[in-house]
Chains A and B, each alone.
Chain A
Amino acid sequence: MLYRKFFNVPSWGFSKSFRDFDRLRREMDDLFGALSGGTLPMPSAGVFPLINVTEDTNNYYVRAELPGMKSDELDIQVTGNGISISGERKIPMEGNNVKYHRREREAGTFSRSINLPGEIDVNKVEASMENGVLKINIPKSEAAKPRQITVK
């Protein structure tokens, strides 16, 4: 649209083709949005479980959705500046004479490791499970914390 203004093109035929172009671009965006699932702003590593990592001044937080899992079914290891989460999600048998209509929930083993962007305090990592969501608190090491510098 800027183009037209720039070159002062008066013809309406031009504007029509621009409109077509806009529509095409929108359709392409929709198509690519659909292919990537549309909801993931960043590419995932493709390893179960999917995780979200956040940070504040003192800690990193790693969260993962693991519905139905108990804290003692998880194995969380901390190494250097990385962390690994592994375990097995079990879905018990529901008796022999049940007939399934849907079976979408998946059982199986998993193992995932991630590296954090900074140094961490290996000894103070804490993990908790709440409503099927795992949350790991990982304190940053003193060296990795941002420091406020006062200007004299």
Chain B
Amino acid sequence: MTDKESKEIQVKPKQELTSPAEQTRPGLVFTPNVDIFETDTEITLLADMPGVTSDNLNIDLRDNVLTLTGEVAPFEEGDEQDIVIEYEIGKYHRQFNLSSVIDQSKIDAKLNDGVLRLSLPKVEKATPRRIEVKTG
């Protein structure tokens, strides 16, 4: 990461969701940018969801499919008129297939400054174990 930190951030327009399923509600849907990493004991997911509050965030895990959904309210208040609009807001939606077996009772989610941090601990038996090879 250190080599990345000095570089300038390039503009990356929000990715609109291209889903095989048709949307049943109007409005734009974006896929949040995520980091996913794994240690021996857990999988951690970080998602950029600016504008989402904890009340409007929905995390769902069933049949090893993790679904993140976040609603963002329109930013204009009162009688504000748009002058320049470079980014749109909408719903965030993204699904992941989790390969390891997750201990659903220990999932922990934190939302700080528009970044979701989701800790998904693996169940005991899924953590890798070193197998001793015996001779003889």
Contacts and interface: CB of A to CB of B under 8 A. Distances in A.
Given A67-B48, A67-B50, A106-B12, A52 B114 contact: no
Contact of B33 (A57, A69, A105, A110): A105
Contact of A100 (B16, B35, B85, B112): B35
Contacts, number: 167
Interface residues of A, number: 58
B11 A131 contact: no
Given A39-B28, A54-B81, A107 B5 contact: yes
Contacts of A135: 75
A52 B84 CA distance: 5
Given A65-B51, A109-B9, A54 B80 contact: yes
A31 to B, nearest CB: 15
Given A52-B84, A67-B50, A131 B114 contact: yes
B38 A101 contact: yes
B114 A65 contact: yes
Interface residues of B, number: 49
Interface stretch (A6-14, A85-93, A120-128): A85-93
B7 interface: yes
Contacts of B113: 67-70, 129, 131-132
Interface stretch (A21-29, A43-51, A75-83): A43-51
A105 B34 contact: yes
Given A90-B5, A94-B44, A102-B36, A133 B84 contact: no
A101 B11 contact: no
A114 to B, nearest CB: 8
A104 interface: yes
Interface of A: 37-42, 44-57, 60-61, 63, 65-70, 88-95, 97-110, 114, 117, 129, 131-133, 135
Closest 7 CB pairs of A and B: A132-B114, A132-B50, A67-B114, A65-B50, A108-B9, A104-B33, A50-B86
Given A93-B2, A104-B33, 20 more contacts: A38-B16, A48-B12, A50-B87, A51-B84, A52-B82, A52-B85, A52-B87, A53-B83, A54-B82, A56-B79, A65-B87, A91-B1, A99-B39, A104-B34, A104-B35, A108-B6, A108-B7, A110-B9, A114-B84, A132-B115
Interface of B: 1-2, 4-14, 16, 28, 33-40, 43-44, 46, 48-53, 75-76, 78-88, 112-115
